[in-house]
Amino acid sequence: MPDFITLVYIAIMAFYFFQKDDGKSFFIIMALPFIPLFSDDYWLWLPLSAALSVVLLIIEGYKAGPTAGGAVVAFFFFSIGAFGVSIAIKTAWTFLSNFSFSTFHLNNPLSYEWPTYVIVLYGLAVVLSLLTIFRSNKESLELTRIHISAFAFAALPHFCGSFLYGMALSLGLFAILFLLAVIRKINPEQRFLFAYTTLGIIPGSFLLKGIIVAFF
């Protein structure tokens, strides 16, 4: 398998340097994060894909010149997204391979440990969100407070006795706060920003938990 993966890398890099259609460079860069998925040593080959992606992005930036910086930046963010998808696929595959319904069960939420500091931090996040909703201008919410609350709702479930119940609590609190924002008639764009910021971080929290369960 290592020989096969090595040949794939060599073939892709050779194709990149010998192909004349610059439009294909994008697809080559997007393909690099997914090559390690075909190896048993995913985390060994992933850094190589990342290093080659950086090299190709530097080359693309040099070829494009200073007037096409926006395109290179777009390439970079698409590449980051591709690596995120690759890691998510590997994590899901590893988790599902080891998952068994016969050993999976959830107890009563109160049977799990809920550390005092976690409850306090949840309370502070809720208070901060309430201050943002009821004390800020309806047309412009405090972004700093929104970001802090969103990060808290995404991070705190990792410190609960049950991650799933902790995440359920976070989503439940967010739903209540969003409903309060609707009742107070906060500007729709600001409500969208509140929802986008909070819900945008939570998938990353699930991904992190999946990586921890699957590989550690």
Which pLDDT value is given to residue 123?
92
CA atoms of 52 and 32, how far apart (whole Å): 8
Instruction: Return the axis-axis angle of helices 188-215 and 69-98, rounded to nearest 10°.
Output: 50
Type of residue numbered 173: L
pTM score of the predicted model = 0.57
Q: pLDDT tens for the chain, 216 residues: list them.
A: 567 888 888 888 888 888 766 667 778 888 888 998 888 888 888 888 888 888 888 887 777 666 555 667 777 778 888 888 888 888 778 767 765 555 555 566 777 788 899 999 999 999 988 888 787 666 666 677 778 888 899 899 999 888 888 888 898 988 888 888 888 887 787 778 778 777 778 877 877 887 777 666
Q: What is the DSSP string of 90-122?
A: HHHHHHHHH--TTT-----GGGS---HHHHHHH
Dihedral over alpha carbons 96, 97, 98, 100 (to 10 degrees): 70
Q: Is-contact 157 205, C-beta < 8 A?
A: yes
Q: Is-contact 198 149, C-beta < 8 A?
A: yes
Which pLDDT value is given to residue 88?
80
Which pLDDT value is given to residue 67?
59
